[in-house]
Amino acid sequence: MSIGDYYKQLNLPETASQEEIKRAYRRLRAKYHPDRNKGRESNVEPIFKRIQEAFEVLTGTRAAAQHAPSGTQEASRHAQARQPQSHRTDDRDARKPWSTTANRWQAYRSGEEGPPQRGANRHDKLYVPLEAALNGGHVPTSYQVTAPCKQCRGMSARFNPGRCAACDGQGKTANGARCGTCGGSGRANVNRCAACQNTGSESYWKTDQVTVPAGAWDGQQLTVSGSGFPGSNGGAAGDAILSVVILCGSDIRRDGLNLVSELKVDFVTATLGGPFDTHLFGRDMRIAVPPNSAQGSVIRLAAHGLSDAAGNRGELRLDVVLAMPDAAAHLTDEQREQLKAMFDEAARRGAS
Rounded Cα distance, 246 and 103, in Å: 51
Please name the residue ranges forming H helices in 17-100. 18-32, 41-58, 71-82, 91-94
Q: Which of 173-177, 197-201, 282-286, 342-346 has the highest mean pLDDT?
A: 282-286
pLDDT at 105: 41
For range 137-155, the mean pLDDT: 81
Question: What was the pLDDT predicted at 144?
Answer: 80
pLDDT band at 65 (very low <50, low <70, confident <90, very high): low
Answer whether residue 45 shows pLDDT above 50: yes
Whether the pLDDT of residue 63 is over 70: the answer is: no
Which of 62-76, 134-148, 193-207, 270-284 is predicted least confidently?
62-76
Q: Which residue has the higher pLDDT, 133 or 203?
A: 133
**Contact of 263 with 147, CB cutoff 8 Å:** no
Share of the chain above pLDDT 90, in %: 38
pLDDT for residue 155: 66
The pLDDT of residue 96 is above 50? no
Residue-level pLDDT at 84: 45
Q: What is the arithmetic mean of pLDDT over 229-233?
A: 76
Mean pLDDT value across residues 107-123: 67
* Statement: residue 83 has pLDDT above 60: no
171: pLDDT strictly greater than 50:
yes
pLDDT digits (tens, 9 = 90+) for 327-344: 888 999 999 999 899 989
Classified by CATH at the fold level, domain 3-88 comes out as Helix Hairpins (1.10.287)
- Burial environment of residue 159 by CB neighbours within 10 A (0 to 12, 13 to 18, 19 or more): buried
Q: Report the pLDDT averaged over residues 224-237.
A: 82
Distance between CA 141 and CA 129 in Å, rounded? Answer: 12
Please tell me the predicted confidence (pLDDT) of residue 14: 81
User: What pLDDT score does 69 carry?
Assistant: 41
Of residues 59 and 346, more confidence is placed in 346
Q: Kindly tell me if the per-residue pLDDT of 267 is higher than 60.
A: yes
User: pLDDT at position 116, please?
Assistant: 77
Identify the CATH number of the domain defined by range 253-351: 2.60.260.20
For the ranges 8-17, 211-220, 318-327, the lowest mean pLDDT is seen at 8-17
The mean predicted confidence, pLDDT, of the chain is: 81
Q: What confidence score (pLDDT) does residue 274 get? A: 95
In the chain, domain spans: 3-88, 253-351
pLDDT at residue 216 in the model? 97
Distances (CA, A) of 342 to 19, 136, 160, 270: 102, 48, 93, 16
More reliable by pLDDT, 235 or 97: 235
What pLDDT is stored for residue 58 in this prediction? 84
pLDDT for position 43: 83
Q: In this predicted structure, what is the pLDDT of residue 213?
A: 96
Who has greater pLDDT, 165 or 326? 326
pLDDT digits (tens, 9 = 90+) for 285-326: 999 999 999 999 999 999 999 999 999 999 999 999 999 988
User: How many Cα neighbours within 13 Å face the side chain of 181?
Assistant: 16
Task: Examine the pLDDT at 70 and tell me if it is beyond 60.
Answer: no
Nearest of 143, 307, 134 to residue 224 by alpha carbon? 143
**Count H helices, E strands: the chain?**
9, 11
Q: In the chain, what percentage of residues exceed pLDDT 70? A: 80
CA distances from 184 to 114, 161, 168, 242 (A): 36, 14, 11, 50
Task: Give the pLDDT of residue 110.
Answer: 42
